[in-house]
């Protein structure tokens, strides 16, 4: 199935915690445009996608089942993904651990040890509004 043109905006806004995270909505969205999930793991449905978000290639999008979270694995390393998010969204991530970065919106990005994906980005729950 081909991704809709709004996929990078819809999923990108959710990954950066700039959208309300509702698993019913995002599971329905992914099923509508990508069919059934490839597998279930870690409390989430996982869809294999061949799309880009923030000009970075995505390997998987995962959406919580029962818990409100959404995430994606990217082929770019964290430094390249952070630069692409900054260029696309104007958002900075600050390093909070050896292999973990956080955004002011509470979005999280980590180095991900997978043979196909270098970075994992995710958001839990509703967006956070910084003061």
Dump pLDDT digits (tens) for 80-111: 998 999 898 888 888 888 888 888 777 787 87
Report the distance separating Cα 107 and Cα 100, nearest Å.
11
pLDDT of residue 1: 65
Closest CA to 71 of 128, 14, 28: 14
> 10 Å Cβ neighbour count for 80?
16
Residue-range domain boundaries for the chain: 7-124
Structure tokens at 65: 């089942």
> 10 Å Cβ neighbour count for 130?
7
pTM, to two decimals: 0.86
């Amino acid at each position: 199935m081909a991704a809709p043109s709004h996929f990078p905006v819809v999923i990108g806004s959710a990954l950066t915690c700039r959208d309300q995270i509702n698993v019913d909505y995002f599971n329905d969205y992914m099923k509508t445009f990508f069919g059934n999930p490839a597998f279930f793991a870690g409390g989430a449905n996982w869809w294999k996608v061949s799309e880009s978000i923030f000009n970075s290639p995505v390997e998987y999008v995962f959406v919580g089942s029962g818990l409100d979270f959404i995430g994606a694995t990217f082929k770019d390393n964290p430094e390249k993904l952070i630069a692409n998010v900054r260029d696309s969204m104007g958002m900075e991530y600050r390093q909070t651990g050896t292999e973990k970065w956080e955004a002011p919106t509470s979005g999280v990005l980590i180095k991900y040890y997978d043979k196909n994906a270098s970075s994992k980005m995710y958001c839990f729950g509703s967006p956070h509004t910084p003061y």
